[in-house]
Amino acid sequence: MIVARCFHALKGTIIKSLQTPSESLKKIISEKIVTEGPISFADYMDLCLSHPDFGYYNKGKIFGKEGDFITSPEISQLFGESLAVWIATLYNKLEAPSKWHIVELGPGKGTLAVDILRTLKSLNMAVGLSYHFIDLSSHLKKIQQNSILTSCKGMLQHEKYKNIERYFDKNTSFYWYSTLGEMNFIYSQEYKPQPVIVLGHEIFDALPIHIFEFSTKLGWCERMVDLNSYDQFELVLSKGRNKNVDSVLKPGKLTKTGLISDLKEGDRIELSPASLKLFADICDIVKQGQSASLMIDYGDNRAFGNSVRGIKDHKKLEMEEWLQLPGEVDISAYVDFAALSAIVTKYPELECGDLLPQGFFLETMGISTRIEILSKKHPAKAQSLQKDYERLASPDQMGEIYKCFYTGAKSLNEVYPFTSSIIAEKKL
């Protein structure tokens, strides 16, 4: 009996001391709200995804069938191979530089990089390449490094300087950083003539957004995250115009652009200053390297009002549900590519191409031909290959909703398939 009582007492102590990551993060956010008042949805989203200890991207398995969602590179190697074909086209247009760089933002498990590298090696284009991985998550960095080491059969040397890690052999180098800002060396005189290609796959959809809502009585307000009487998170409307309305939304400027007219009660708009800042940094690098960037994400050439969503175990949850699970849910929102295009206009040396659906882009890179070749070579896998192809390229799956956004130096002229002839053909 005494032993049993001691066990139950000890068990209770253990349970109290072992909070889940979600509970720990909920406590942090709750204390912030109690101390500071309601916080912007952007702050809530940032904490949920990027908190150094309890953020979503620092948890265990989040990608693939065993995680919460699956990305294009995880569906099929054909996606990465298609991107490698595009990179090869650009590489030749850059006159096969002896030293060049690929920068990948949010590389996930490193699957895309492995597929790109394998294809470039088969084309004898990997010599002189430095591949740079940008990721805040220390957990994902380790997974990416293991992916690269496995693909290179472990035959890489390793060195570390401060927070930057490098693996390399005589032909290719791989670097890991937490932020794009840590790549400042790329602006030095030594690196100036070396082209830099920047890739981003499903990166902007995960950047924090502010949610603004119009009230006929109060004007523009902001949707904030607060605690209700049950200590649960809920979205509330600010009590009128707050500082973010003035600094982020800028209603006067919004009216002049004609972005929103005939406002009605409850009209919303989602804006992401973090996306604009990141894309400006990307444009700085593209300008420096006189090369190009390719961003692939879901969205369109317009702003959205109700696109934010939470995904867990491959299921879309109701907001009331996922708000209570900080750090446990993939939170994302549609990307406003028109806002990113506006950034490019501030760089006279750069231009951006028409937005292309992912399916159309993959077709121009020869994915259908590749499917036919692989299906004949591996008949037993033909059905599976076709299924993966349809998921990536079919308009009613990922082929239309995901868009490819190109930005490049004007000196490159047109880069396939973002050319006037291809765009004209698409519009026929």
Rounded distance, CA 115 to CA 63, Å?
Answer: 17
Flag whether pLDDT at 19 surpasses 70: no
Rounded distance, CA 75 to CA 314, Å?
Answer: 14
Entry pTM: 0.90
pLDDT of 255: 57
Q: Which residues of 20-55 are buried (b: 16+ CB within 10 A; e: fewer)?
A: ebbeebbeebeebbeeeebbbbbbbbbbbbbbeebb
Rounded distance, CA 290 to CA 88, Å?
Answer: 16
Neighbours of 58 (CB within 10 A): 19
The gap from C-alpha 377 to its chain's centroid, in whole angstroms, comes to 34
Over the stretch 328-358, which tens digit does the pLDDT of each residue have? 999 999 999 999 999 999 999 999 999 999 9
| 414 token code pair | 């047109």
Would you say the C-alpha torsion 128, 133, 134, 136 has a positive or negative sign?
Answer: negative
CB-based burial label for 198 (10 Å; 0-12, 13-18, 19+)? buried
DSSP-assigned states of every residue in 167-233: EE-SSEEEEEESSGGGGGGGGSTTTTTS-EEEEEES-GGGS--EEEEEETTTEEEEEEEEE-TTS-E
pLDDT band at 259 (very low <50, low <70, confident <90, very high): low
Helices (H), 66-110: 72-75, 77-93
Please enumerate in sequence order all residues whose Cβ is within 8 A of that of 224, keeping only pairs 6 or more positions apart, or say none: 38, 39, 40, 41, 235, 236, 237, 238
pLDDT of 64: 58
Rounded distance, CA 331 to CA 317, Å?
Answer: 10
Would you say the C-alpha torsion 416, 419, 423, 426 has a positive or negative sign?
Answer: negative
| Mean pLDDT of the region 162-182 | 92
Flag whether pLDDT at 425 surpasses 80: no
Please enumerate in sequence order all residues whose Cβ is within 8 A of that of 88, keeping only pairs 6 or more positions apart, or say none: 119, 120, 123, 125
Q: For CATH 3.40.50.12710, list the domain ranges present in the chain.
A: 72-207+273-427
pLDDT of 14: 37
Over the stretch 197-219, which tens digit does the pLDDT of each residue have? 999 999 999 999 999 999 999 99
Residue recorded with tokens 């790549």: 183
Over the stretch 86-98, which tens digit does the pLDDT of each residue have? 999 999 999 999 9
Would you say the C-alpha torsion 66, 69, 73, 77 has a positive or negative sign?
Answer: positive
Flag whether pLDDT at 131 surpasses 60: yes
DSSP 302: S
Flag whether pLDDT at 367 surpasses 50: yes
Which CATH number is 72-207+273-427 given? 3.40.50.12710
In percent, the amount of the chain with pLDDT more than 70 equals 90
Flag whether pLDDT at 135 surpasses 60: yes
| Mean pLDDT of the region 273-280 | 97
In percent, the amount of the chain with pLDDT more than 90 equals 78
